[in-house]
Structure 1
């Protein structure tokens, strides 16, 4: 193992162990990004880039982009449980071409990007047992740790603390940009959604949406095919500094790609995330 990767692993373990005590961030280097290089098009959303969202991950299955995810530390990607497949999986981080994901073993490398195979997949046990829309959360362990840079950096998860209630969020992804279009977007896009009463989502989807989920929507734009597993986030002033904190994981929405989306409520699963990281970091 190279010395630089070994050092990264040592740093990662500093944030694991007992979660008792005061609040802290899972990774202290999280939630920092650079201004986008692009001007302000996810479905009818705004075009952005990886500098503004360095935690964004494309989840690849058998060489095909299937879902999105978020980098949460040097070695783990947070995504939806339904985005975890039995087939060979890999993740792409940084600046890469989402329409030509290729294979991590092909030898091609882009200076500001990572292509890493997944060596461990963890899905919430109750998602497997119940096959309901709840518990739609999973973690992917990369074969090796990644170094942080302007284009690769984790999103924030807060441990031991309830962050103030937020009603407006950002969702980001490379999903299709219109209903019926099977082709993912070459450009990363984002949009703003607002919290909606869970009863409205329960009624619309004919599926119980509970406190472990967040119902959001927008009249102008929404998630679409390929955005599943990606982060729903907000910029929060935390310890005197604005950071991007993840509140949800895109779970499911309308087939029309417009109106309502249900996200897994990350705060409800922080104990589960913590336990998985502690047991699977070696």
Structure 2
């Protein structure tokens, strides 16, 4: 901005100052207008859906990302902002100090055909929860991932909301999982590796605790875990789905209720999927991730259901 240095005319000092202030205000307004606000979280822009199938539709879950290790799908994650992804901490076991091995693929519906609108970004660093013990099936299996640079939002790449304090998920609430993991134990998702989805009801924590009972003082289901799935088995997450989202819809908006963490086998009877609850770690995520969006009930209504597909490993092994 050029400001005249010539002496002002009599009475012109205030006018000159006012002019400068108006110019500065106009510039600030223009700059603010040129900085786009992030899109609303949890709102897919694609309206067409396949009902009853396992393949998701393109752009149905625009926050689901593939975390790649040395160029191969390793885990899933969920996009929170232009610069942050949340996933399971165990996905980085033994590799925490080597972020260059990893990248994040966003906007890819089919891993075998990601398309020109997908984006692949390196990982700057990984921040696991400080109390995670790096042992299989333990509490606080959550990490936030800082991308090397900000990504561009599109209809295929959008953030998901975190649940605010008004959200409670009673048993039998229908939610969804999604991922590119195995379709059965030892059976990888076939080409073109289309993102899978599965509807899973929330299971009462006391029931789940009894199913995974290991003896007095050895509770497998900790206070920050959620269980979801089917006691009869047959439908579940599996190997390669770790870190992916457990998503519940509240008043038309998708919330990240949990993160796929562990289980015993894939789709085995009385061995439902175990997820890390975002409600338990909401404050921790908020302290690290600037700009994360929250959503809850406007008038106390209960969440409605969703869908996706799953992961897991034998003997309580987290599925990476």
- Once the two structures are TM-superposed, the CA of residue 98 in structure 1 deviates from its matched residue by 2.0
User: Which residue among 235, 257, 277 is the counterpart of 1:247?
Assistant: 257
Gaps of 5+ in 2: 1-30, 292-320
Taking the TM superposition and a 5 Å limit, the aligned residue runs for 1:194-213 are 194-205=201-212, 206=214, 207-213=219-225
Query: 1:90 maps to which residue?
Result: 103
Question: For the Cα contact (< 8 Å) 1:39–1:47, is it kept in 2?
Answer: no
Residue 37 and residue 265 in structure 1: after superposition, are their counterparts in 2 closer, same or farther (change >3 A)? closer
CA deviation profile, 1:224-273 (whole Å, cap 9, x unmatched) = 11111000011111xxxx11111000111221334500000101101100
Residue 36 and residue 58 in structure 1: after superposition, are their counterparts in 2 closer, same or farther (change >3 A)? farther
SS at 1:176 equivalent? coil
Q: Would you say how many aligned residue pairs link Structure 1 and Structure 2?
A: 241
- Once the two structures are TM-superposed, the CA of residue 199 in structure 1 deviates from its matched residue by 3.3
Query: 2:186 maps to which residue?
Result: 180
Query: TM-score, structure 1 length as denominator?
Result: 0.76
Residue 38 and residue 196 in structure 1: after superposition, are their counterparts in 2 closer, same or farther (change >3 A)? closer
- Once the two structures are TM-superposed, the CA of residue 111 in structure 1 deviates from its matched residue by 2.6
SS at 2:285 equivalent? helix
CA deviation profile, 1:159-204 (whole Å, cap 9, x unmatched) = 4x32143522111111111122145660111111112122333343
Bigger radius of gyration among the two = 2
- Once the two structures are TM-superposed, the CA of residue 90 in structure 1 deviates from its matched residue by 0.6
Query: 1:217 maps to which residue?
Result: 229
Question: For the Cα contact (< 8 Å) 1:99–1:184, is it kept in 2?
Answer: no
CA deviation profile, 1:24-45 (whole Å, cap 9, x unmatched) = xxx662111113465645xxxx
Query: 2:83 maps to which residue?
Result: 75
User: Which residue among 183, 190, 194 is the counterpart of 2:197?
Assistant: 190
- Once the two structures are TM-superposed, the CA of residue 115 in structure 1 deviates from its matched residue by 0.3
Question: For the Cα contact (< 8 Å) 1:235–1:244, is it kept in 2?
Answer: yes
Gaps of 5+ in 1: 1-5, 13-26, 102-109
Instruction: Say whether 1:264 aligns with 2:276.
Output: yes
Residue 118 and residue 184 in structure 1: after superposition, are their counterparts in 2 closer, same or farther (change >3 A)? farther
Instruction: Say whether 1:165 aligns with 2:173.
Output: no
**Distance (Å, rounded) in 2 between the aligned partners of 1:184 and 1:245:** 29
Query: TM-score, structure 2 length as denominator?
Result: 0.68
